[in-house]
Amino acid sequence: MTAEVAGSEHLLEVRGVSKGFPGVRALHEMHLTLRHGEVLALVGENGAGKSTLMKLLSGIYTADAGEFWLAGRPLSVSGPKDALEQGISIIHQEFNLMPHLTVAQNIFIGREPRVAGFLSDREQNRRAAELLDRLGLPLKPRQVVGNLTVARQQMVEIAKALSYDARVLIMDEPTAALNDAEVSTLHDLIRRFRSPETGVIYISHRMDELKAISDRVTVIRDGEYVDTVDTRATSMPEVISLMVGRTLTSEARPQGVRADRETVLEVEGLCTKDLLKDVGFDLRKGEILGFAGLMGAGRTEVARALVGADKMSAGTVRLRGRQVRIHNPAEAARHRIGYLSEDRKNLGLLLEQDVASNIAISSVAERFTTFGFVDFKAMRERAKEMVRTLGIKTPSVQQTTKNLSGGNQQKVVIAKWLVKDCDILIFDEPTRGIDVGAKEEIYRLLNDLAEQGKSIVMISSELPEVLRMSHRIVVMTEGRVSGVLDSDEATQESVMHLATLRPDENLRDAAELGLVDESVLASAVPGAGDDRKDPDQ
């Protein structure tokens, strides 16, 4: 596949584009082509330059060299608004919503319907309702975006992007925060958007969805073009080896259920005001305990209540047999419980600080101080070590964290908790936005930690990951624990079955319930019911 083919056969063309930042060569003579009517997947490791390319296309950055062509004509974009006007619509990797505004206000920001010069909220809500209806999204125009779940916020982003008359729709990891059912809704939307006049560039680290949605896959590595392949004619391992430049072999997987090990954490009757009802489970030494469930099932809430970030309204927590009451995350840390939040940008990182400070922040008091003075050298050394182990792509540990790519920021958060010596680690969506190679690295580290006798709670929406990594799996639904499975009895089907159980099953109209359950199962687990395949193999 060469990029020399010119002409309007291509909807969008990138030719020899380079972009550098101080100390970083983000893109070097990059090229790619997007054909009319296709979905082109763009893949590459964290920091490969994917988001940078998209930011060039939306006019947020200016290229150092190279050119863009749209439908056979040179394209120059002066800024986000200009990009939108020229038909390029982007969903960025980080959320870009105004939390205080309503769904309709967010969708129509910048082109509010006006009557005689004044805003017409009625007209705006009407149009938004129409749009949401057409897209089949379960949102209401007047809902305040900040009150929505992460998944629904993502839907607002999607609705906003599709509401423009876009020719090129670019999605930078749109599914990182979605569960399988929501992913398939998104894919439906993309298929409906696709027409001979339009095209989609789709960035994702979830290899399984590339097969489902893309026509071709362009691989980039270290800011350079590697290859473009036909999705149907390739296998995912092939794509992955193009991406990382080698074949991935490690298939880390913990062995054996450790029923013999002592219990370090027991939770009983945990309730919160909003969601959790009578949650109970126990965690053993050296165990990886997976938490599965649909978005909003209450897994994050369990973690937050445990570390005292949210208030428990009832329940007891026993730590190594002793009952404890944890009021805030600092207390949790004193009990050597660490919590890696799912919301990295707001809760996990000091974006304006450098990488070293971020990695050391939780442990600086106990590890990097002598007589109250911070030992910056030791701190930086330890940070450098973590940067090496996790393969964090950054020119130095003194780089401002804000400037790292999304996946590399996530790695910094993980490094922070690995540096701190915790006995119990709660990881909430630890591999969200992380590339396949680094994922393996993190799995390996989790295994090592468990082997050393640490206990790990892993909350994840990626079922294969939970199935592969956990000794046992706690499945939650609507704020309750609906079942605990041993790793040898857990399958995609058994987990999904528990995850979609409704506690008040009997009270509901049976027909309606049947419909709900079936559609969830069908869209979440391809071929559920007819093809019982064991993920252990």
Ligand X SMILES: Nc1ncnc2c1ncn2[C@@H]1O[C@H](COP(=O)(O)OP(=O)(O)OP(=O)(O)O)[C@@H](O)[C@H]1O
Cα(340)–Cα(337) distance, integer angstroms: 10
Cα(495)–Cα(483) distance, integer angstroms: 9
Among 389, 494, 401, 488, residue whose Cα is nearest residue 438: 389
Q: Looking at beta carbons only, is 172 or 465 nearer to ligand X? A: 172
List binders of other proteins among 506-525 (CB under 8 A): 515-516, 519-520, 523
Binder of ligand X out of 11, 12, 14, 26 (CB under 6 A): 26
Binder of ligand X out of 286, 338, 407, 430 (CB under 6 A): 407
Is residue 436 near ligand X by the rule CB under 6 A?
A: no
Q: Which does 117 bind (CB under 5 to 8 A by kind): other proteins, Mg ion, ligand X, none?
A: other proteins
Cα(379)–Cα(375) distance, integer angstroms: 6
Q: Which does 1 bind (CB under 5 to 8 A by kind): Mg ion, other proteins, ligand X, none?
A: none
**Taking contact as CB under 8 A, which single stretch among the options 139-147, 222-230, 359-367, 377-385 is the one that binds other proteins?**
139-147
DSSP 144: B
Binder of other proteins out of 1, 6, 109, 330 (CB under 8 A): 109
Binder of ligand X out of 48, 355, 359, 467 (CB under 6 A): 48
Binder of other proteins out of 16, 25, 66, 101 (CB under 8 A): 101
> Token pair for residue 507?
């009270």
Cα(400)–Cα(227) distance, integer angstroms: 32
Binder of ligand X out of 15, 49, 158, 170 (CB under 6 A): 49
> Token pair for residue 298?
């209450």
**Taking contact as CB under 8 A, which single stretch among the options 111-119, 221-229, 385-393, 464-472 is the one that binds other proteins?**
111-119
Number of residues that bind other proteins (CB under 8 A): 57
Among 430, 433, 436, 435, residue whose Cα is nearest residue 413: 430
**Taking contact as CB under 8 A, which single stretch among the options 98-106, 201-209, 344-352, 466-474 is the one that binds other proteins?**
98-106
Cα(402)–Cα(58) distance, integer angstroms: 19
Is residue 528 near other proteins by the rule CB under 8 A?
A: no
Number of residues that bind ligand X (CB under 6 A): 20
Cα(492)–Cα(337) distance, integer angstroms: 29
How many CB atoms within 10 Å of residue 449?
Answer: 18
CA 210 vs. chain centroid, Å, equals 15
Please say whether the beta carbons of 187 and 209 come within 8 A: yes
Please say whether the beta carbons of 392 and 416 come within 8 A: no
Please say whether the beta carbons of 59 and 53 come within 8 A: no
Binder of other proteins out of 24, 54, 97, 166 (CB under 8 A): 97
Cα(28)–Cα(473) distance, integer angstroms: 44
Q: Which does 408 bind (CB under 5 to 8 A by kind): other proteins, Mg ion, ligand X, none?
A: ligand X
Please say whether the beta carbons of 170 and 201 come within 8 A: yes
Q: Report the half-sphere exposure of 206 (CA within 13 A, side-chain side).
A: 23
Binder of ligand X out of 272, 405, 431, 447 (CB under 6 A): 405
Binder of ligand X out of 13, 30, 46, 419 (CB under 6 A): 46
Binder of other proteins out of 257, 295, 445, 528 (CB under 8 A): 295
**Taking contact as CB under 6 A, which single stretch among the options 186-194, 382-390, 405-413, 522-530 is the one that binds ligand X?**
405-413
List binders of other proteins among 163-222 (CB under 8 A): 179, 181-182, 185
Residue nearest to ligand X (CB): 407
Q: How far is the CB of 231 from ligand X (least distance, A)?
A: 19
Q: Report the half-sphere exposure of 15 (CA within 13 A, side-chain side).
A: 17
Query: Cα–Cα–Cα angle for 110, 114, 118, nearest 5°?
Result: 105
Q: How far is the CB of 329 from other proteins (least distance, A)?
A: 17
Q: Which residue has the tokens 């580290």?
A: 445
Is residue 51 near Mg ion by the rule CB under 5 A?
A: yes
Q: Which residues contact 507 (CB under 8 A, 6 or more apart)?
A: none
Among 158, 195, 184, residue whose Cα is nearest residue 38: 195
Q: Report the half-sphere exposure of 155 (CA within 13 A, side-chain side).
A: 29
Query: What is the pattern of x (binds other proteins, CB under 8 A) and - over residues 57-96?
Result: -x-x------------------xxxxxxx------x--xx
The residues of the shown chain that bind other proteins, judged by CB under 8 A, are 58, 60, 79-85, 92, 95-102, 105, 109-110, 112, 114, 117-119, 136-138, 140, 142-144, 147-149, 151-152, 160, 179, 181-182, 185, 274-275, 294-298, 478, 500, 515-516, 519-520, 523
The residues of the shown chain that bind ligand X, judged by CB under 6 A, are 21, 24, 26, 44, 46-52, 93, 393-394, 403-408
